[in-house]
Amino acid sequence: MTTILSALLGALIVVALIALRARYASFVAQAPSDYAGKGPAFDLRRHLSGPLTCEGVIFGPTGRVTSRFVADMTGTWDGTTGTLAEVFRYDSGTVQHRAWTLVLGQDGQITATAPDVEGKGQGRVEGPGVLLRYRIRLTPEAGGHVLDVTDWMYLLDNGSIINRSQFRKFGIKVAELVATIRPVEAQALQLAAAE
């Protein structure tokens, strides 16, 4: 009986350590306040405006690259409401279109909607970081599953953006995206001249 209790206690300790790590020392544990005053200020109206180019990879649940993509994006703004139109071209030959509607609120709050997003995404801008959490419905070709997404964008000093997203189902990570977003060359020159 002592062996069974020891095994159960050991298993309970391992589960508790995993839960503590997920809560305090993982990608999803980041908070916008972690980036307050730690780099250039991410202004969505400026840095997600005009023509943008994006390159990235998607990792599957085993950590291996399952897809590569290149995307053209165009950001337009009318006051605190913006549209980010995206055209993704995947290595499989698939082309995907998405149009985000972004609404900036008080104190860096963001609300985001898109046709394949369930409800509204919620997020926040703080310093060089942007957090957005939402639920996305995959295409029928990809299984049609609804996944919970934690999406972070990090602004670099040169105006480029690193995007990292994790996709979870029932709390288990099933995919991860890593991409760069940057202004097309003419836009980059205009941004540099404005600084």
CATH architecture of 31-194: Beta Barrel (2.40)
Candidates 9, 11, 59; CA nearest to 173 is 59
pLDDT digit string, tens, across residues 166-182: 999 998 999 999 999 99
User: Please, which contacts does 62-71 make with residues 24 or more away whose CB atoms are closer than 8 Å?
Assistant: 66/175, 67/91, 67/92, 69/179, 71/179
Q: What pLDDT sits at residue 151?
A: 96
Cα distance between residue 98 and residue 184, in whole Å:
19
Task: Determine the distance from the C-alpha atom of residue 104 to the mean position of all C-alpha atoms in its chain, rounded to a whole number.
Answer: 17
Question: Which tokens in the block code for residue 5?
Answer: 């209790």
Residues forming a β-bridge with 149: 134, 167
Domains of the chain, residue spans: 1-30, 31-194
Q: What pLDDT sits at residue 44?
A: 95
Question: Which tokens in the block code for residue 75?
Answer: 């950001």
Residue ranges of E strands in 32-80: 50-59, 65-78
Candidates 147, 184, 177; CA nearest to 162 is 177
Of 24 and 100, the structure prediction assigns the larger pLDDT to 100
Q: What pLDDT sits at residue 67?
A: 95
The model carries a pTM of: 0.81
Split at pLDDT 50, 70, 90, the class of 125 is very high
Q: What phi and psi values does residue 9 have, to the nearest 5 degrees?
A: -65, -40
User: Residue 119: left (phi > 0), alpha (psi -120 to 50), or beta?
Assistant: left
